[in-house]
Amino acid sequence: MLEVLNDLIPNIMNKLPEFWQAILDFFIMLGITGAVSFIFGTLFGVILTVTRRGDILENKVIYFILGKIIDLFRAIPFVILIFFLGPMTRIIAGTTIGLRGALFPLMVGTIPFFARQVESALAEIDRGLIEASQAMGSSPMEIIFRVYLKESIPGIIRATTITLISLIGLITMVGAVGGGGIGDFAIRYGYNSMQNDVTYVCVIILLLITTTIQGVGNILIRKTTH
């Protein structure tokens, strides 16, 4: 088996420790950024929803300011955002390269995207359910948790799936500027050194990860839809 792999993917086999480290770094970035983006993106998405006109905590100032900040960071192409955040990244992480240097720009690039996805999911909730909860004397926090979040679970799962798949692309992109992970490994060895087997293996791995996330997301959506 090893002989076959050495013939098919010799450059990967010669760099196995570095290759496994690149995969580990990729999943660390995916896990940490995904978790932080889920928490803050959900929070901001809920705030945008409940403070809009006519909703349970209407507040035009908060809605306007938060919405504009989110739209600002969504409008900046991610590659430019990496360099724009460079000084702040250096202050927070102590470096702008490698795993530590990649996390902050990844979070800033992902949280606004997920927040808008959550807002869209919450906007699909039947207004009749909200009005009925208000009529029964439910507090705003009870409506947020028992109506908005509970009833929009399939939509939030869909938003999470879309965001994770988008995040895979951002993690790969951050590798182009020394962020580490599979993208960095593929560019340094597959593209710059013209080692095609490295490129092919990295692409296959990314396809498998993307397909797995999409498949799991679809299963969870079906199980939670009622």
The DSSP 8-state label assigned to residue 176 in this structure reads G
Q: Whole-angstrom Cα distance, residue 77 to residue 71? A: 12
Average pLDDT value for residue range 95-120: 92
Residues near 106 by beta carbon (within 8 Å), at least 6 away in sequence: 29, 33, 167, 170, 171, 174
Name the DSSP letter for residue 206: H
Amino acid, res. 15: K
| Local structure of residue 186 (DSSP, 8 states) | I
DSSP 52: S
Question: pLDDT tens digits, residue range 147-203?
Answer: 999 999 999 999 999 999 999 999 998 887 777 789 889 988 988 888 899 999 999
Q: How far apart are CA 22 and CA 96, in angstroms?
A: 17
Q: What is the pLDDT of residues 13-41, one digit of tens each?
A: 898 999 999 999 999 999 999 999 999 99
d(C-alpha 97, C-alpha 206), whole Å = 22
Per-residue b or e along 115-151, where b marks 16 or more CB atoms closer than 10 Å to that residue's CB? bbbbbbbbbebeeeebeebeeeebeeeebbeebbbeb
CB atoms within 10 A of CB 43: 13
Span 108-158, pLDDT tens digits: 999 999 999 999 999 988 888 898 988 898 899 999 999 999 999 999 999
For the chain, what is the mean pLDDT? 91
Q: What is the pTM of this model?
A: 0.92
Q: Is the pLDDT of residue 95 over 90?
A: no
The alpha carbon torsion through 34, 39, 42, 44 (nearest 10 deg) reads: -110
- Distance between CA 110 and CA 112 in Å, rounded? 6
Domains of the chain by start residue, with CATH: 14-224 (1.10.3720.10)
Residue 87 has pLDDT above 70, yes or no: yes
CA distance to 81, 102, 168, per residue, from 106 (Å): 9, 6, 10
**CA end-to-end span of the chain:** 48
Whether 2 has a pLDDT exceeding 80, the answer reads no
| Amino acid occupying residue 76 | I
Q: What is the pLDDT of residue 75?
A: 92
For residue 99, is pLDDT > 90?
no
pLDDT surpasses 80 at 44: yes
Residues 6+ apart with CB under 8 A from 175: 181, 182, 183, 184, 185, 186, 187
